[in-house]
Structure 1
Amino acid sequence: MKKSALIHAELSHLIATLGHTDEVTICDAGLPIPAETQRIDLALIPGVPAFIDTIKAVLSEMQIEGAVIAEEFAEVSPEHHQALLALIHQEEQQTDKAITVSYISHEAFKAKTRASKAVIRTGECTPYANVIFQSGVVF
């Protein structure tokens, strides 16, 4: 049995197979997911699992060097936006590695999900609660 916190088989496999600069999207319940992109659907009911809880679980195993966020997120859902930035900052402190955060329009964000290795759908119902993480290296 796994010793680390993340016990979801598909998520664990996804993270174990990431290469440097591969991208993974974590999204709310409403983001359209391209048919050609792997979907890991965690959504059970509205709010479960939460976006922030899913971020915490993924970051427990995934090394990131970048995050892409929709510009609208900060304005429309500032509390969730700040919570995401706090987790990214915490990750920087724990790993002693800089993480680049960039912002693009929501329309550009949706188009960019096509390049993700997978999209992880949560039960979150907060507008624009989406992020694309770029995989980093642990060395």
Structure 2
Amino acid sequence: MLRRVMLKSGIFNPHVLDLVARVRHTNTLVISDWAFPFWPEIETVDISLTHGIPTVLDVLNVLAPNFQIGKIWQAEEFSKVNDAATIARFDSAFAAIEGAAVTKLPHVDFKKLVPGAIGLIRTGDATPYGNIILESV
């Protein structure tokens, strides 16, 4: 008799699982806020539920234990427009990822990296310039 197995932890969303399963060595994955532009060149998995749910950091924190992250890109404008508590939350999340190098670059240059990504996970986050790009090891 075939026994069905249901996931008990980790990522439940089948579209996110499918996208993450295709990430290989040095591929990139974008985690964006609710207002990030649509990119027809790459697959977008929209998991936004409502304003602020889930956040970019919610997704990062779920991905990080099972995704070998070597680099993180973030727009340098993030540090100019957000308060100290928000900046500290992102910095803490990044610091918790052992060996991940964080690069800040102008938002216009950040967006130039997007079309080369395997895909994009769109959240309900409203943090200004809270988008990140992850590169696998």
Does the TM-score normalized on the shorter chain lie above 0.5? yes
Matched, 1:19 2:24: yes
- SS, match of residue 44 in structure 2: strand
CA contact (8 A) 2:43 2:120 kept: yes
Q: How many residues align?
A: 131
CA contact (8 A) 2:30 2:132 kept: yes
| Residues 3-12 or 57-66, more deviating | 3-12
Root-mean-square deviation over aligned CA pairs: 1.4
Q: TM-score, normalised by structure 1?
A: 0.87
Q: TM-score, normalised by structure 2?
A: 0.88
Separation in structure 2 between the aligned mates of residue 100 and residue 4 of structure 1, nearest angstrom: 28
Partner of 1:91: 97
Partner of 1:118: 119
Separation in structure 2 between the aligned mates of residue 89 and residue 72 of structure 1, nearest angstrom: 19
Percent identity at matched positions?
29
Separation in structure 2 between the aligned mates of residue 67 and residue 23 of structure 1, nearest angstrom: 9
Please state how far the C-alpha of 1:81 moved relative to its aligned partner.
3.0
Separation in structure 2 between the aligned mates of residue 4 and residue 19 of structure 1, nearest angstrom: 23
Q: How does 1:1-139 map to 2 (within 5 A)?
A: 1-78=6-83, 79-92=85-98, 98-136=99-137
Structure (1 or 2) with the larger CA radius of gyration: 2
Residue identity in the other structure for 1:23: T
Describe the superposition over 1:105-136 as per-residue Cα deviations: whole angstroms up to 9, x where unpaired: 11111121111110110001111011000011
Please state how far the C-alpha of 1:2 moved relative to its aligned partner.
2.8
CA contact (8 A) 2:22 2:118 kept: no
Runs of 4+ in 1 over 2 A off after TM superposition: 1-4, 78-82
